[in-house]
Amino acid sequence: MILAYIQNFDGKLKKASFEIASYAAAIAKMANTEVLGIVLGQIPDDQLQKLSQYGVNKLVNVTSPNLEPFDPKVYTEAVAKIAENNQITGFVFINNNEGRAIAPRIAARFKAGIVSAVTQLPESVNPLTITKKVFTGKAFAKTIVKSDKFVITLFQNSYGLQEVPVDMTIEKIELDLPQPAITVIEKNVDISGKIPLTEAEIVVSGGRGMKGPEYWGPLEEFARLLGAATACSRPVADEGWRPASEHVGQTGKIIAPTVYFAFGISGAIQHIGGVSNSKYIVAVNIDKDAPIFEVADYGIVGDAHKILPELIEAVKKLKQSDS
Ligand SMILES: Cc1cc2nc3c(=O)[nH]c(=O)nc-3n(C[C@H](O)[C@H](O)[C@H](O)COP(=O)(O)OP(=O)(O)OC[C@H]3O[C@@H](n4cnc5c(N)ncnc54)[C@H](O)[C@@H]3O)c2cc1C
């Protein structure tokens, strides 16, 4: 079976949860086997039921008072205990903070080869052969896993959702798990209602070419109209024009939206390292020789301050004609 680690986001399943189920279902099909989904922590049944639409054949919901606060060692123990009672040949995780904290521990525990941050399905599953981007997207590496079991972490938004309705069984298990080794003193929850950058399908980003924080209004309006998250290059965050949480790139967040809009961003390799997994890159830059155009799928040579209002008008018109 393929074990899909389905992340529980405070009692809810999100797109990332369904995406990893979809991805596991596709690998299970290649391997002629089934998907065992695992959800840790309290969550309503109606949330769990949704997973039957994404190819999860057997779902295990593990509860324990020791699953709070999140401690990767305790979570690894829970996943391992469930895996030991099932014939697991492959484990798949979303390549976010939680997945990246558990996946290597599972790989060590099961002596499984691990391929992290992939964006596509394997070419074959026996042995696991998979191609992934390396060197900040400048090259591809074809990787073969020689161990009996494999662990994969998948970039969020890179595979998408594939509906595969199946009959799903749900088993609820209370596990005896070790105490977490950490205590959370304070938690600051983001209540801005904004779409988290790493989960956004569309990201609208600005660089130093935007000239200053006072010019961000149109960029934010464009993002709002598209239901997009906003991002920025590192100098923009360093200058304090935008919050550090929006900085993408080698030293910032690594994202994989469907569309990445880059306004006034030169396209330095350190920036591209964080956005090269985007399905489409749309760049607006005044300099026709800016390196961003080498990686952009669509490019507009022009002044971002003139192009943005035109794009806003175009989206508004499209929305009006749709309604
Ligand atoms: C170790 C290291 C790590 C780094 N990590 C990161 C990282 O994680 N993320 C990151 O972003 N950077 C990172 N950097 C910095 C990176 O090298 C670049 O300096 C940075 O990405 C440049 O930001 P920028 O494109 O906003 O600014 P600039 O390079 O100044 O580019 C501005 C662009 O705007 C264009 N422009 C100007 N006016 C307009 C206009 N009116 N309309 C349209 N276009 C216009 C210009 O033609 C230019 O291409 C790192 C650097 C190092 C050394």
Distance CA 80, CA 78 (A): 5
Which pLDDT belongs to residue 11? Answer: 96
35 confidence band (pLDDT: 50, 70, 90): very high
Question: Which of 136, 234, 275, 301 has the most ligand 1 atoms within 8 A of CB, as the residue to mutate?
Answer: 234
CA of 275 to the centre of ligand 1 (A): 13
- End position of a domain, from candidates 174, 209, 224: 174
283 CB within 6 A, ligand 1: no
Distance CA 126, CA 146 (A): 9
| 42 and 164 share one domain | yes
CA of 83 to the centre of ligand 1 (A): 45
Domain assignment present for residue 179? The answer is no
Residue nearest to atom 7 of ligand 1 (CA): 249
CA of 12 to the centre of ligand 1 (A): 37
Where is average pLDDT lowest: 34-38, 112-116, 247-251?
Answer: 247-251
Range of the domain at 223: 197-322
218 CB within 6 A, ligand 1: no
Q: Identify the DSSP state of 83.
A: H
- CATH code assigned at 13: 3.40.50.620
**Which atom of ligand 1 sits closest to the CA of residue 274?**
8
| 53 and 91 share one domain | yes
| 62 and 93 share one domain | yes
| 132 and 219 share one domain | no
Distance CA 197, CA 203 (A): 7
Distance CA 166, CA 188 (A): 39
Question: Which of 232, 265, 272 has the most ligand 1 atoms within 8 A of CB, as the residue to mutate?
Answer: 265
274 CB within 6 A, ligand 1: yes
| 14 and 154 share one domain | yes
Complete edge-to-edge strand list for the sheet that includes strand 124-125: 124-125, 128-134, 139-145
61 forms beta bridges with 39, 172
Residue 135 has pLDDT above 90, yes or no: no
The number of domains in the chain is 2
- For a pLDDT cut of 90, what percent of the chain falls above it? 83
Q: Residue 152: CA atoms inside 13 Å, Cβ hemisphere, count?
A: 28
- End position of a domain, from candidates 174, 189, 217: 174
16 confidence band (pLDDT: 50, 70, 90): very high
Which pLDDT belongs to residue 313? Answer: 97
Domain assignment present for residue 192? The answer is no
Distance CA 146, CA 127 (A): 6
Average the pLDDT over 137-145 and give the result: 89
- CATH code assigned at 301: 3.40.50.1220
Which pLDDT belongs to residue 323? Answer: 74
Q: How many CB atoms are closer than 10 A to CB 169?
A: 10
- For a pLDDT cut of 70, what percent of the chain falls above it? 98
| 217 and 308 share one domain | yes
| 164 and 236 share one domain | no
| 28 and 164 share one domain | yes
CA of 194 to the centre of ligand 1 (A): 24
| 22 and 101 share one domain | yes
Distance CA 173, CA 14 (A): 22
Domain assignment present for residue 90? The answer is yes
Average the pLDDT over 99-124 and give the result: 97
Average the pLDDT over 216-229 and give the result: 96
| 160 and 85 share one domain | yes
Which pLDDT belongs to residue 191? Answer: 62
285 CB within 6 A, ligand 1: yes
Going by DSSP bridges, is the β-strand pair 124-125/128-134 parallel, antiparallel, or unpaired? antiparallel
236 CB within 6 A, ligand 1: yes
**In contact, 249 and 270? CB cutoff 8 Å:** yes
Which pLDDT belongs to residue 194? Answer: 75
251 CB within 6 A, ligand 1: yes
Residue 264 has pLDDT above 90, yes or no: yes
CA 216 to mean position of chain CA atoms: 26
63 confidence band (pLDDT: 50, 70, 90): very high
| 201 and 169 share one domain | no
Average the pLDDT over 8-21 and give the result: 95
Residue nearest to atom 4 of ligand 1 (CA): 270
- End position of a domain, from candidates 140, 174, 208: 174
**In contact, 124 and 150? CB cutoff 8 Å:** no
pTM of the predicted model as reported, rounded to 2 decimal places:
0.81
pLDDT digits (tens, 9 = 90+) for 168-217: 999 999 999 999 999 999 887 766 667 888 888 999 999 999 999 999 99
Which pLDDT belongs to residue 280? Answer: 95
Q: Identify the DSSP state of 189.
A: -
Distance CA 260, CA 258 (A): 7
SS3 130: strand
Domain assignment present for residue 121? The answer is yes
Alpha helix (H) residue ranges in 110-215: none
Q: Please give the sequence-ordered ranges of beta strands (E in DSSP) within the chain, or none if there are none.
A: 2-5, 35-40, 58-63, 90-94, 113-118, 124-125, 128-134, 139-145, 150-154, 169-174, 202-206, 229-232, 259-263, 280-285, 298-301
Please provide the average confidence, as pLDDT, over all residues in the chain. 94
Domain assignment present for residue 313? The answer is yes
**In contact, 80 and 106? CB cutoff 8 Å:** yes
